[in-house]
Amino acid sequence: MCIGENSAPHAEHYINGQLGTLWENAYECVQHHGKGMKPSESQKYSFALAEYWFGKYRGKGSVSKADMMFRASFSKPRIEFICNHDAIIHLSLNEGHYNSETSRVVDSRVTANLEYNREFKTVHASFRVPFRKATLDTRDKAGNVIIGNGNNVISLYLFDFQSARPVEIKTDADIDRQALGFYLLRYLRFLSNAGHHILFSLPDFDDDQLSVTIDFSAVSTTNVPVTEIHGVTVDKINAFLSTGWLKAAMLGSSPETSSDIKVALAEYRSTASSVGVSDVFFHAKLGAPRVKALCEQEVILYFSIDYLYIYETEDFNVKPAFELSDWEIALLVDVDTVVTEEGNATRCILKFDTARYVREYCSFPGLDEKNEDVVRAWTRVVNFFTKEYLQILEQAEYHVIYHYDIRWPKPAAIPSIDNIGIGGRGIEVDIDSSEIETQIIDSSWETTEVVDEATGTVTTTVVGSKEWQEVSETVDMGEFDQVTAISQSGIVAYFLSIWNSARTSKEKSLFKWSFEDYFDATFKPITLRLLSNGRAIVWIHLAKGSLKTLKDWKVSKDGSKYDFEDWSLAFEVDLKMRKHTEFTSMSSWWTTKFEGSQAYKEHGQQTDRDLQHIYLDFASAEFIHEFSSFEGLFQSKERRPIDYVQAMVTYLKEYYFKQITSSGYHILNTIPIWRPGSKPPSWGLTGIDFRIHGKQIIDRYNWGSISASDEPAIAIVGVTNFRPFPKLPLKGVAWTTSGGKGVSYGTVSISSETFVKKQILPLLASVNARTTVVPCCACSDANGAWSLKLTPWGSADARKARATEWIPDGVDATGMKYKWNQIDEWSYRHDGADKGYSGTYTAACETRNSLVIPTKFNGNSLEIKLTGDISIRTDYKGVVGAYSTKSGVQWSTALAIKSSAGGLKVEVVESSAPSFIKAEGLDENVLKVLPDLEAILKTQFPKTVELTEAVGEFKTFEGSWHSCYASLSSYELTQPIFNSKGDILFKLRPHNVVPSFFSKAVTATTSAVSSLTSAATSAVSSSSRTSSSSLIKSRVSLAGTSSRSSFLDNIKAIVSPGTYNGSAKSDASSTLAASSEDDGSVTEKEIV
């Protein structure tokens, strides 16, 4: 023992000396009392270190060694310390046998099946054993010293043989190591029962008051690291440290945040205050720290100094006095594992107060011990990293080397175009292909046709009908007049479209971009995830390219070049809204393109309105390394991979984002807003705002766990007619659908108050005025005969100014019902000289009109039905007798809004001509006193029931939608539906994008979702119709395939850009995409 030094080697020697002596005693006991058979109960512990028997003899009359399940003789054991908590016990087996039938072992009372006995010789086995130190006081209860000469204790080491774990079993023979280890673990428990698990430490009974220092960890040469610390793998801990280091490095890469204390994990500059009286100033660039676990309670913490610059003053702008690199400083540190939050959260915490510097674990290449300046710098740096630096790390909370809560969302895959759509369906993007017709199908085109074999009847069902019905009923518009929801998937699909167009455009930056000779890259389409805080995580996917590293955060021609491939960088950016006139830094290319867009043509040159743009504010971009990937970089042999990350982030944030912003690629939507004092159309918005809306709060941490049905959307809320703006937010319900295999781009909702109550019902009220007949009394004619006149309500002087409003009549399965009932009845009595006409005349006219606005989704068509029933009756009772007659007229019509190629189509369907009822009871005598009511009705009732005003209002929805645009492109409305509150909803889809349908028959037992088809697929053949009682005939579909590369080929077969045969307005050529010709016009090839 050497006081003042680490006595661990002495302690290990002393402990093995005890163990060796105990083995010698056991060996001698075996020599004197052993009979080559299992020892008696009284002697078994005496033999324990030298011999071990496990099993039971067959019977008293016949005993044999072979009856034992295990037996062995041992040479002297040895203990080797790994650290201050674990040791290895080495066992040397001379000879013996084991029984491989270990499944029979319940306890030691088992007799071996001789067939499974296996002999062995010369086996070396090692087991990892935890231990702890205990002390016995050398004073009695009165405080008197009973052992030794001072304030001493007796130190003991207690080895937990019960918790031993195999390390290695070595032998030249072919043995079952698992079976042998099984018995040796029981042997170690046997040694524990025999009391051999307790051994004394070095004695210390002198009176010098100096204690003996024993630190096994500091001198251990045993390389048996553990892979877990209380269930947390070392790999996870080091990954956590790497994540923290990367965050620190990124903070240090920006001049604005380089002084943050958290930067210290990646970079540190000493100052006059930090170095104290030292004249050594240094700048250290650090690699990611790492730990190596010696046991579950102790680790070696390594600090990697990639570059060390030594200065004579704290002016770090001058050239350093000298440079060193690739140093590694190692500390032994105890670690605690803390489980909190009712067992949900686990943290591993370094106890820096236990940290010890261990020179043997360190590496200092280039350290010239003959150079005083280098040695002085080395001394200063080592002192700093073993003392002051630990205080800085703890202040920055870097002493927490692992933190995980099982309630946190699971890590999500980086979104790419491969998983753009609903249900994980994706597209393989080949950036080298010359094919540019990549398209995403809107889900509203998907239908399923069920063919009945017996009748041949074909029933077509729109995919997602049930979900669309549910969405329509759950939306709550609050007090807003119009809500437009732009889906997250629709935005990603839009980026795919404009990326696809950029491949052949003059402005290619979305596809390929370079910055002088510092940076060059080919890009894949941008993807994003919307967050509830009004921001979005945007991924820039780089297919391949090269870059040069920076110097002092600036581009440098001397930078190190690196070729990269398949990198994805995540940035969190703000979503903002500004007037078009405030976009002052746009390129001439974009200005020309925008002036050719439908939004500009319809609204851009009007003085009574402004255009507002919703856009991604790349100036606010914050790099998020956790959701980024750098394929191959951190597995490469590059000394400073973080330098390439910093360079990439700088090139994107400082240069690339400015490029794509000036080219308008950051603009998502354009909305016209009417100015005060103007006269906007009924749908014209006079005030708007937007929010990221979803069923639940979505943040940076849980976006990956959001299901397709809960996908967020940009909710653009607005008011009309200059109403005060209501309060936000909207209620947390779904505004878009996720059914089918295609993409749902979004929805438009117009409130009942705005459209039905203020537009449709008043316009349809004119039908009541035209179809309500009022009887007018004319008393008698020139001959004294009674005369009856009828006049329409709208022509009656006394009534035409009065309203003919529809009255709500409840809601049932057919929809919202309204009625208009009008009854006019009067009596006229005449008695005079012309006795032939004297009598009492009565007339009654009743009008019953009904209006039904459907609230059930019926495929791609919505029909508003109107019917009317007018009845008229006259009676006479007088001198010539009593007579009566009656007649009437019935009518019905419907206004249909149908989804079709190029947008909605509005038309009047069913018969609009009235049907007159022949007058009853007419004969020669009746006609003398009563009129022919049918004839009178025909002269006063309209020949057709016109819906001109209402049709005109609905035609607003035809063609491209005028209230919201996808940047340079247009939407069209489809799948209209009213909900029970009276709000009308539409789905949005790219205008004029029409897939070519190719059919394929499949059995009705398959899913009701359309399957992927190609141009070569034929229609249902007659032969296929005989294979089952019914077939499902699938239209366009986007079902996923096992081969992503084949998906693009299938898309090409499905999609035919610009194939439109409808009769939409002439402005239908404005479409959702970008052009291959930069002439300012948006062509049909620019379709999403």
Query: Is the model's pLDDT at 1087 over the cut of 70?
Result: no
Percent residues over pLDDT 90 in the chain: 60
Structure tokens at 241: 């440290």
Assess whether pLDDT exceeds 50 at residue 291. yes
131 vs 249 pLDDT, higher one:
131
3-state helix, strand, coil in the chain (%, to 5): 25, 35, 40
Phi, psi (5° rounding) for residue 496?
-60, -40
- pLDDT digits 0-9 by tens, 555-579: 999 999 999 999 999 999 999 999 9
d(CA 1020, CA 1033): 7
Q: How confident is the model at residue 859 (pLDDT cuts 50, 70, 90)?
A: confident
User: CA torsion, points 714, 720, 723, 728, in degrees to nearest 10?
Assistant: -10
Percent above pLDDT 70 for the chain: 83
- pLDDT, tens digit (0-9, with 9 covering 90-100), for 513-532: 999 999 999 999 999 999 99
Q: Does position 891 have pLDDT exceeding 90, yes or no?
A: yes
How far does CA 702 lie from the centroid of its chain? 7
Provide the β-strand partners of residue 197: none
Residue labelled with tokens 């950036």: 431
State mean pLDDT over 113-133. 95
* Contacts of 273 by beta carbon, 8 Å cutoff, 6+ apart: none
- pLDDT 10s digits, 686-711: 999 999 998 889 999 899 888 888 89
Contact 774, 845 (CB under 8 A): yes
Alpha-carbon gap, residue 818 to 815, rounded angstroms: 10
Q: Bridge partners of 91?
A: 125
Whole-number Å distance between alpha carbons of 1073 and 900: 20
Q: Is the pLDDT of residue 1003 over 50?
A: no
Q: Please tell me the distance from the alpha carbon of residue 331 to that of residue 334, in angstroms, as a whole number.
A: 10
DSSP secondary-structure letter at 754? I
Q: Residue 76 to residues 20, 48, 184, 324, 655: CA-CA distances in angstroms?
A: 6, 12, 15, 49, 72
With CA atoms as reference, report the closest residue to 482 among 715, 777, 133, 169: 715
Asked if residues 348 and 336 have their Cβ atoms less than 8 Å apart, the reply is yes
CATH top class, domain 228-405: alpha beta
CA distance 1045 to 743: 19
CA distance 724 to 480: 10
d(C-alpha 478, C-alpha 753), whole Å: 11
Q: Supply the mean pLDDT for the chain.
A: 84
Q: What angle do CA 292, 293, 297 make, to 5 degrees?
A: 145
As given in the structure block, the two tokens for residue 104 are: 């029979």
pLDDT in tens, 893-938: 999 999 988 899 999 988 778 999 998 878 877 887 888 889 989 9
Please report the pLDDT score of residue 386 as a whole number.
95
Pair 554, 518: CB distance under 8 Å? no
Number of Cβ atoms within 10 Å of the Cβ of 659: 17
Residues 948-963: what's their mean pLDDT?
94
Give mean pLDDT, residues 1032-1049. 36
End-to-end CA distance of the chain: 82
20 contacts 49 by C-beta, under 8 angstroms? no
**Residue 725, phi then psi, degrees to nearest 5:** -80, 125
For 306-335, what is each residue's pLDDT tens digit?
999 999 888 888 899 999 999 999 999 999
Q: Are 987 and 737 in contact (CB under 8 A)?
A: yes
Contacts (Cβ under 8 Å, ≥6 apart) of 259: none
Structural domain spans, the chain: 8-219, 228-405, 478-701+717-736, 759-954
Please tell me the distance from the alpha carbon of residue 270 to that of residue 311, in angstroms, as a whole number: 10
Distance CA 716, CA 720 (A): 13
Q: In this predicted model, what pLDDT tens digit does every residue of 478-491 receive, in sequence order?
A: 999 999 999 999 99
Q: How confident is the model at residue 744 (pLDDT cuts 50, 70, 90)?
A: confident
769-779 average pLDDT score: 80
Task: Give me the torsion for CA of 142, 143, 145, 149, rounded to 10°.
Answer: -160
User: Residue 1055's pLDDT is what?
Assistant: 32
What does the pLDDT look like over 15-47, one tens digit per residue? 999 999 999 999 999 999 988 889 988 899 999
The two three-digit tokens of residue 379, written as one number? 């001394």
Query: Does 1070 have pLDDT greater than 60?
Result: no
Tell me: the pLDDT tens digits for 426-436? 455 566 655 54
The CB density around residue 456, as the number of other CB atoms within 10 Å, is: 8
3-state secondary structure (DSSP) of residue 32:
helix
* Distance, CA of 381 to CA of 206 (rounded, Å): 39
Written as one string, the DSSP assignment of 886-900 is EEEEEEEEEEEEEEE
Instruction: Pull the structure tokens for residue 815.
Output: 């929809």
Count helices and strands (H / E) in the chain. 20, 46
* Burial class of residue 1041, CB neighbours in 10 A (0-12, 13-18, 19+): middle
Residue pLDDT, tens place only, 806-835 = 999 999 999 999 999 999 888 888 777 666
8 Å CB contact between 266 and 245: yes
pLDDT at 1077: 38
Listed range (292-306, 488-502, 912-926) with the worst mean pLDDT: 912-926
Q: How high is the pLDDT of residue 1021?
A: 34
Per-residue model confidence (pLDDT) at position 1084: 33
Amino acid at 604: G
Q: How far apart are CA 579 and CA 307, in angstroms?
A: 50
pLDDT higher than 60, residue 1069: no
Residue 226 pLDDT greater than 50, yes or no:
yes
Our CA angle for 220, 225, 230, nearest 5°, is 120
